[in-house]
């Protein structure tokens, strides 16, 4: 049975805002995979979200900018950094569709330590660089990443002008929360953001070890590519998924 796509408009957060931030210049690279490949990487109480019999593994470099607690101003320095994540797509028994992070690489040590301690997210402190140029009237962006264990990633894309509004794009971007296992239970962290301003993109360079390091050694080019310039995101406080305590 094919799951229905989530709505494009985010539900409003029902509680206080825990954090706000901007996500800038994101490249979305996705590979279609068998849900059985993803299932062992998900926390208790959630399962792979599926579209047309497959789920997706995403590789997403971007700039996280202007993060701050609650509705307070952005935190100087630590609130802006480069990030690359490998992410999966999940759904729980209440029908909430979210993401599960297989890995998150970031350039701010304080953020890495804080996210690991407070939420159990698999952040790593890594070296990353971003470059940009305009060639023949089109923006081209490149990101490099090197983890402390020596895993490397190099991605470059050329931006197109066409809007992207297909089902796969909606499936991998209209996500309004994350599932994470922490301290013997599974948590749901809701978020809200405006619809993604998605546009086409062409992969120019892809030399990536982050997916294999996360357990997904996927050959070949991505099955779906798109790009977005910015959304503003607000996160709610974590909520425990009922029946997921393991100790």
pLDDT tens-digit profile of 26-60? 999 999 999 999 999 999 999 999 999 999 999 99
pLDDT-derived band at 4 (thresholds 50, 70, 90) equals: very low
Residue 2's pLDDT is: 39
Q: What is the mean pLDDT of residues 60-68?
A: 92
Q: How far is it, in rounded angstroms, from Cα 193 to Cα 183?
A: 28
3-state secondary structure at position 42:
coil
pLDDT-derived band at 9 (thresholds 50, 70, 90) equals: low
Q: What is the mean pLDDT of residues 162-187?
A: 95
Question: Which runs of consecutive H residues, i.e. helices, occur in the chain?
Answer: 35-38, 109-119, 167-173, 210-213
pLDDT-derived band at 118 (thresholds 50, 70, 90) equals: confident
If we measure between CA atoms, which residue out of 198, 233, 203 comes closest to residue 221?
A: 203
If we measure between CA atoms, which residue out of 63, 232, 222, 67 comes closest to residue 143?
A: 63
Q: Pick the residue with more confidence: 19 or 81?
A: 81
- Which tokens in the block code for residue 39? 């299932």
Other C-beta atoms lying within 10 Å of the C-beta of residue 191: 22
- Which tokens in the block code for residue 162? 């066409």
Q: How far is it, in rounded angstroms, from Cα 238 to Cα 121?
A: 12
- Which tokens in the block code for residue 81? 């950094």
> Which residue in this structure is represented by tokens 């406080």?
237
> Which residue in this structure is represented by tokens 């050694």?
217
Residue 100's pLDDT is: 98
Q: Pick the residue with more confidence: 113 or 5?
A: 113
Q: How far is it, in rounded angstroms, from Cα 6 to Cα 216?
A: 25
Residue 129 sits at φ, ψ, to 5 deg, of -135, 155
Which residues touch 1 (CB under 8 Å, ≥6 apart)? none
Q: What is the mean pLDDT of residues 117-132?
A: 94
Contact status, residue 92 vs residue 49, Cβ threshold 8 Å: no
Give per-residue pLDDT as tens, 189-219: 999 999 899 999 999 999 999 999 999 999 9
Q: What is the mean pLDDT of residues 153-167?
A: 97
- Tell me which of 62-76, 140-154, 224-238 is least confident: 62-76
Q: What is the mean pLDDT of residues 137-155?
A: 97
CA atoms within 13 A on the CB side of 132: 9
> Which residue in this structure is represented by tokens 């909430």?
96
Residue 242's pLDDT is: 87
pLDDT-derived band at 6 (thresholds 50, 70, 90) equals: very low
pLDDT-derived band at 77 (thresholds 50, 70, 90) equals: confident
* pTM greater than 0.85 (yes/no): yes
Mean pLDDT rounded to a whole number for the chain? 92
């Amino acid at each position: 049975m094919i799951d229905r796509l989530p709505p494009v408009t985010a539900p409003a957060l029902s509680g206080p805002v825990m954090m706000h931030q901007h996500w800038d210049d994101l490249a979305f690279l996705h590979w279609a995979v068998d849900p059985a490949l993803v299932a062992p990487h998900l926390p208790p109480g959630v399962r792979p979200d599926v579209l047309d019999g497959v789920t997706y593994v995403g590789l997403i470099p971007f700039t996280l900018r202007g993060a701050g607690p609650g509705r307070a101003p952005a935190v100087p320095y630590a609130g802006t950094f480069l990030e690359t994540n490998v992410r999966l797509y999940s759904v729980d028994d209440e029908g909430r569709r979210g993401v599960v992070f297989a890995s998150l690489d970031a350039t701010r040590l304080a953020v890495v330590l804080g996210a690991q301690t407070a939420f159990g997210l698999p952040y790593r402190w890594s070296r990353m660089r971003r470059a940009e140029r305009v060639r023949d009237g089109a923006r081209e962006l490149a990101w490099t990443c090197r983890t402390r264990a020596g895993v490397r990633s190099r991605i470059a894309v050329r931006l197109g002008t066409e809007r992207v509004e297909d089902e796969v794009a909606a499936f991998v971007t209209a996500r309004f929360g994350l599932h994470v296992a922490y301290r013997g239970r599974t948590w749901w962290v809701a978020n809200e953001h405006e619809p993604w301003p998605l546009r086409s993109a062409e992969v120019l360079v892809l030399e990536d070890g982050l997916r294999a390091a996360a357990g997904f050694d996927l050959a070949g080019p991505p099955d779906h590519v798109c790009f977005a310039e910015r959304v503003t995101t607000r996160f709610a406080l974590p909520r425990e998924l009922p029946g997921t305590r393991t100790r």
